[in-house]
Structure formats: structure tokens, C-alpha cells
Amino acid sequence: FLSALDDVDDKLQAFEAGGVDYVSKPFHEAELLARIETHLTLRHLQQALQIANETLDSKVRLRTEELAEANRQLQAEIERRIRHQQEKDRLLTAVSRQSEQLRAMTTWLVESQQKSNGAAIDLYQEIRQDITLAQSNLEVIQSLLAPDSSSIIANHLENSRRVLEKVAGQIEQARTSIHQAAIAKEELTDNPLVMLSTREREVLQLMVEGKTNVDIANLLSVTPATVYTYSKRIRNKLDIPDLPGLIKFAMENNLSA
């Protein structure tokens, strides 16, 4: 305000009306110009500050939205990896359980086969004794035939003797096959590798090749903790407490490269 009024009440009314400065007459032109320039500069600074604040607010909102989206994506990725790991753990547990079931079934089949082989050998011996007795009886009957006996009877006895010899040969072949199968089953049962599952043999192979738990975990797509569990299980099953012992075992069983 530029006025000849110089009372305090007049100045207060001017400021209350929205004035930013008050100059009483008479005034100096230089002072008036300086005041005007100062107020213009302040106005420009206020406008620039307002624009800067608005720009900053916009950037903050944008950055906040970006961070919120990144956080949502990170949380989703964490949840996906957790689900993936849980699924792998479930599959690993299922495979391990199936391997144990298959190994138990294999052991049962081998034991059943061994029992069956024993029963078959006993039956073979009984049949062989019966065949030997029948052959002896035929020989006795043939020796007792008179020279003038019917040729039909003689031929019948000879054919019976040949049939018994053929049956005896077949029984002997069956006994040999059963014996060889029993030996093969015993060798399979005695092999300590039968106690290991397929995945455990894979882990053992990689261990003796010098791979670390982390290396094995990456190769088999499992966690290092899972590899440690396999390693501990292998040592317990083979009753081998350390890695040098496992390497020696692998060499003896042609597992080392």
C-alpha cells in the first residue's frame, strides 16, 4: 500500500486486506523500487519453490508406486520359490518313499525266490530219485525178459527207458538253471549298492568325483541341506563314516570315473 496515512491502525487494516508492504508518503523513489523488486523476487522464489515441491511430490508418488510394485513382485517371487521348494521337497519325499518301497519289495522277491529255489531243488532231488528208481526197474525188467518175448513189449520198455533218460536230462538242465539263478541272486543281495536308492547312488557318484554339497545341489536341483541328508543316509547304510572310505568303496565297486 502507498498512502499518506501513517497510523498503526491504518497499516494493520492494510495488511489485513492482503497487503504485503506499506509505504507512507512522502517516500523515496529508490526505496519504493527496491521494495517492489524484493517482493517480485520473493514472488518468483515462492512460485519456483511451489513448482519444485509439486515436482518432488510427483516423483515421490511415482517412486513410492514403483517401490510398492517391486515389493509386490518380490513377495510374489518369494512365495513362488517357497511353493516350488515345498513341491520339490514333497516330490523328493515321495521318490524316497517309493525307493524304499521298491527296495523292500526287491528284498522280499529275492528272499521269496531263494525260498522257491530251495523248494525247487528239493523237488528236483525227489524227482531225480524217482526217475533213477524207474530206470533201475526198467533195467531189471529188461534183463528178466526171455529171448522169445514179444518184440512189442521189448520196444515199449526201450521207449520208456529213453523217455526217462530225456526227462532226467531236462530235470538236470532245470537244476543247473536254478542253481545259477540262485548264485546270481546271492551276488545281487550281497552287493551293498542294493541298499542305496537311485538318487543316493547319484549323490555318492558325485561325492567321489570331488563335488561339494553345493555343486551336487545345483546339479540335482535340490538344496544343500537335502544333499547333506543324502550323504548322512549313505554313510549310515554303508557303515562308512568318512569320505576316504566312500572313495575306497566306490573304487571297489567300479563307481569312480
**pLDDT tens-place string over residues 53-70:** 888 888 888 888 888 888
pLDDT of residue 60: 85
Percent of the chain beyond pLDDT 90?
1
pLDDT tier at 215 (50, 70, 90 boundaries)?
A: very high
In three-state form (DSSP H/G/I as H, E/B as E, the rest C), the secondary structure along 188-228 is HHHCHHHHCCHHHHHHHHHHHCCCCHHHHHHHHCCCHHHHH
134-138 contacts, C-beta under 8 A, 24 or more apart:
134/164, 135/161, 135/164, 135/165, 135/168, 138/164
Asked whether the predicted pLDDT for residue 229 surpasses 80, the reply is: yes
pLDDT of residue 83: 77
Distance CA 66, CA 62 (A): 6
Asked whether the predicted pLDDT for residue 204 surpasses 80, the reply is: yes
Asked whether the predicted pLDDT for residue 102 surpasses 50, the reply is: no
**CA distances (Å), 77 to each of 73, 85, 158, 223, in order?**
6, 12, 87, 18
Distance CA 77, CA 9 (A): 69
Asked whether the predicted pLDDT for residue 151 surpasses 70, the reply is: no
Q: Longest Cα pair distance anywhere in the chain, in angstroms?
A: 179
**What 8-state DSSP symbol labels residue 239?**
T
pLDDT tier at 240 (50, 70, 90 boundaries)?
A: confident
Q: CB within 8 A of 41, min separation 6: which ones? A: none
Asked whether the predicted pLDDT for residue 26 surpasses 60, the reply is: yes
CA 140 vs. chain centroid, Å, equals: 73
171-175 contacts, C-beta under 8 A, 24 or more apart:
171/124, 171/127, 171/128, 171/131, 172/128, 174/120, 174/124, 175/121, 175/124, 175/128
Q: CB within 8 A of 257, min separation 6: which ones? A: 209
Helix (H) or strand (E) holding 164: helix 151-190
pLDDT of residue 155: 67
- Residue type for 61, please? R
Among 14-18, 227-231, 248-252, 253-257, the least confident range: 253-257
Mean pLDDT across 148-155: 62
**Nearest by Cα to 202 from 241, 250, 252:** 250
- What is the value of pTM for the model shown? 0.32
